[in-house]
Amino acid sequence: MAAAKDLVPKDGYDRLEYFLKLRLADLGMTQEELAARGGPDPSTLAKVRNRAGQNTPKAATLLNWDDQVGWERGSCAVTLLGDTPREVGVITTGGQITANEKLVRLLRQAGRANNKMSAALTTALAENERLTRQIQAALDTLK
């Protein structure tokens, strides 16, 4: 069974897109809402995705994306290189998020994380049960 970490792209645009999608989900925001705030719209993201081997977006563009999703400046750039983006306390464009909004978003994020962990635990327990049966069957053949 592959670990969840194995599913995260190692570097490049696929990695950035992976973390952008996670961040939007954490914020309860769609790509269209992000675009309305001044972030990249879906067509821009598609253009970047389809330009393999070409130059990455300009530094100013990446910094703008950082600002729009509430990451520390430079997070998009280091994510392209294989690192992980870092969240800042507030989203700087479009005003600060209120404490209540942040709490609601964190509760949603915790709920999603709980659901993922529960599903992973169920899968792990089923795999453990299957292996236990196989081990028992192998031991029975030795008797």
Residue 126 has pLDDT above 90, yes or no: yes
Mean pLDDT of 73-99: 77
d(CA 26, CA 112): 9
- What pLDDT score was predicted for residue 95? 56
Structure tokens at 20: 């952008």
Query: pLDDT class for 93, splitting at 50, 70, 90?
Result: very low
Mean pLDDT of 69-89: 89
Mean pLDDT of 12-19: 88
Q: Say which CATH class 1-97 falls into.
A: mainly alpha
CA nearest to 70, candidates 42, 101, 43: 101
d(CA 4, CA 110): 17
49 and 20 Cβ atoms separated by less than 8 Å: no
- What pLDDT score was predicted for residue 6? 60
Phi, psi torsion values for 96, nearest 5 degrees: -75, 150
- What pLDDT score was predicted for residue 2? 47
* 3-class state of residue 26 by DSSP: helix
Question: 37: phi > 0 → left, psi -120 to 50 → alpha, else beta; which?
Answer: alpha
- What pLDDT score was predicted for residue 67? 87
Give the residue carrying structure tokens 């081997």.
Answer: 53
Q: Give pTM, 2 decimals.
A: 0.56
